[in-house]
Amino acid sequence: PINPYGETKLIGEWMMADCERAWGLRWAGLRYFNVAGSGWDDLGDMATLNLIPMVLDRLSRGQAPKIFGTDYPTPDGTCIRDYIHVRDLAVAHIAALDYLAGGGTMAEHVFNVGTGRGSSVREVVSKVIASTGLNIEPEELDRRAGDPPQLIGDAERIGRVLGWKADHDLDDIVTSAFTSWQADPNRKSFD
């Protein structure tokens, strides 16, 4: 792991493996990437802790979204991340539970839940801005400490073992996030 967050997830997997050895616990570890979007308008992510809700929040307040770091060794200079739609994540959980309930042997316990494709921060911010119909340029700031240039999930194992693959793309994620943001009566509209 490259950061404390990833380290805590790995420790959790070690603990599950210890429980398996000690008590025969059947388990699957799902490693999420950047979960975003909304399954339904009334279940949107309203916490401004992730990129898409942060951009929507700033835009709804008439402020420019922020991009941290434009000098990474990536095609457009911004970080690249694998975004996974929350509905795809839910289906991955069901696939893992079905596999465990069906008696499948778990030679491989840990699965990346991602698309295997990356989107740059600039690309995501641009799509969110476009979804609102606003014409605003993002503010470009220095890098944040600890941000790796690229994090993309290899979803080969989850496809092979659990038969799962992501069905939604970045456009679906942004559209669902925007419509759920608009549907929240506590949110300011976009002017």
Does 118 fall in a domain? yes
Q: Identify the three-state secondary structure at position 41.
A: helix
Does 6 fall in a domain? no
With contact defined as beta carbons under 8 Å apart, do 146 and 97 qualify?
no
Domain span holding position 147: 29-183
Does 120 fall in a domain? yes
pLDDT at 45: 72
pLDDT at 8: 92
With tokens 């759920």, the residue in question is 180
Q: What is the DSSP letter of 137?
A: P
**132/141 Cα distance (integer angstroms):** 23
Half-sphere exposure of 151 (CA within 13 A, CB side): 18
Domain count, the chain: 1
Does 189 fall in a domain? no
Task: Assign residue 146 the CATH number of its domain.
Answer: 3.40.50.720
For the chain, 191 residues long, give each residue's pLDDT as a single digit of tens.
777 888 999 999 999 999 999 998 889 999 988 999 998 887 777 777 899 999 999 999 999 999 999 999 999 999 999 999 999 999 999 999 999 888 766 678 899 999 999 999 999 999 999 999 999 999 999 999 888 999 999 999 999 999 999 999 999 999 999 999 888 777 766 66
Does 190 fall in a domain? no
pLDDT at 191: 63
Pick the closest to residue 177 from 7, 65, 57 (CA basis).
Answer: 57
Helix (H) or strand (E) run with residue 111 in it: strand 110-113
Q: Is 5 an annotated catalytic residue?
A: yes
Catalytic member of 5, 32, 83, 99 = 5
Q: Is the pTM of this model over 0.85?
A: yes
pLDDT at 186: 74
- C-alpha 37: how far from its chain's center? 9
Sign, CA dihedral 130-85-76-68, equals positive
Does 4 fall in a domain? no
pLDDT at 64: 97
- C-alpha 15: how far from its chain's center? 24
- C-alpha 87: how far from its chain's center? 11
Pick the closest to residue 94 from 80, 113, 78 (CA basis).
Answer: 113
Does 21 fall in a domain? no
**191/185 Cα distance (integer angstroms):** 15
Does 2 fall in a domain? no
